[in-house]
Amino acid sequence: HALGSDFVQAIRDGGIEPWFQPIVDGASCRTVGVEALARWTHPTLGFLSPAAFLGLAEERGLMHDLFAAMMRRACPLARTWIRAGRLDYLSINLSPSQFKLGSVADDVIALLAELDFPPQALTVEVTEEVLLNDLARARVQLERLAAHGVRIALDDFGIGYSNIGYLRQLPIQTLKLDRLLTQDVATEHKARSILSAIVQIARALDLHMVSEGVEDSSQALWLTHLGCRSLQGYLFGRPMPADAFATHLGLDP
């Protein structure tokens, strides 16, 4: 249980660091967005990935504090990159548990004001677990965020239940195609057929599409050919520290 108090301290002391993974436009290969992903360097255990601490954060009710810490670190950096004309938006994960607070939208809006970050340049990624828990409550919060200009992405789309009815009921602008579907798109006819159908739905509803987990160029070519506009994955860049990402954008770190 010492790990729990270490985590609280890390959130307070800036021990939780955002790493950045590019999201590129498939046609031009320009980096348009960036997803911030949490990393923790523990004083004795060393470098920890989310798999090692998200469960703990969830258990201790610290996901919202983690989110705020990520925003406070990532927004000032992203603002610099956006002002330099090298980037359009920052994407950050919201945990389903944050929606148990009736105040999640107001909290995000207050953080944006505190950090002087343009709401239109923030995308929050939510999974459908949010919607399974309490759709009515999630809808109120997401609509408040959308009305403020924040974009909402549905993460891990195409696996799980992927109830397309949600797309009608919620102010979602972006679908993030799960990497399990991306993986098979170059080798499996059925994966391509499913992707085509998802692209049709996305077009009809005017949704932006991002494919996650793009690892090789044949996947990238297929995804672009089938109509997925944005791509994210190791092919374009792994999650990296801020200075490496600045260099990736062609800026001084």
Regarding 96 and contact with ligand G (CB under 6 A), the answer is: no
90 contacts 115 by C-beta, under 8 angstroms: no
Interface region with Na ion, contact rule CB under 5 A, candidates 30-38, 91-99, 211-219, 221-229: 211-219
Encoded one letter per residue, x for contact with Mn ion by CB under 5 A and - for no contact, window 44-73 reads: ------------------------------
Phi, psi of 22 (to 5 degrees): -65, 145
Place of tokens 């459908």: 128
Cα angle, residue 38 at apex, residues 135 and 65 outer, rounded to 5°: 60
- 129 part of the interface to ligand G, by CB under 6 A: no
SS3 category, 130? helix
Residue 185 as a binder of ligand G (CB under 6 A): the answer is: no
Q: Among all chains, which residue has been given the structure tokens 């996901």?
A: 63
Rg of the chain over all Cα atoms, to the nearest angstrom: 18
Residue 124 φ/ψ, nearest 5 degrees? -105, 135
**Which of ligand G, Mn ion, Na ion, none does residue 69 bind (CB under 5 to 8 Å by kind)?**
none
42 alpha carbon, distance to own chain's centre:
24
Regarding 66 and contact with ligand G (CB under 6 A), the answer is yes
- Of 34, 53, 82, 93, the one binding ligand G (CB under 6 A) is 93
Q: Token pair for residue 210?
A: 């991002």
The least CB distance from residue 252 to ligand G, in Å, is 26
Does 101 engage in binding with ligand G (CB under 6 A)? no
Residues near 136 by beta carbon (within 8 Å), at least 6 away in sequence: none
Among 9, 41, 49, 200, binds ligand G (CB under 6 A): 49
CB 195 within 8 A of CB 177: yes
Out of Mn ion, Na ion, ligand G, none, which partner does residue 211 contact, by CB within 5 to 8 A per kind? none
3-class SS of residue 31: strand
Nearer to ligand G, 54 or 194 (CB): 54
Residue 155 lies near Mn ion (rule: CB under 5 A): yes
**Binding-site ranges for ligand G (CB under 6 A):** 21, 37-38, 49-50, 54, 63, 66, 70, 93, 95, 125, 155-156, 179, 212-215, 233-234, 239
**Binding-site ranges for Na ion (CB under 5 A):** 155-156, 212
**Binding-site ranges for Mn ion (CB under 5 A):** 93, 125, 155
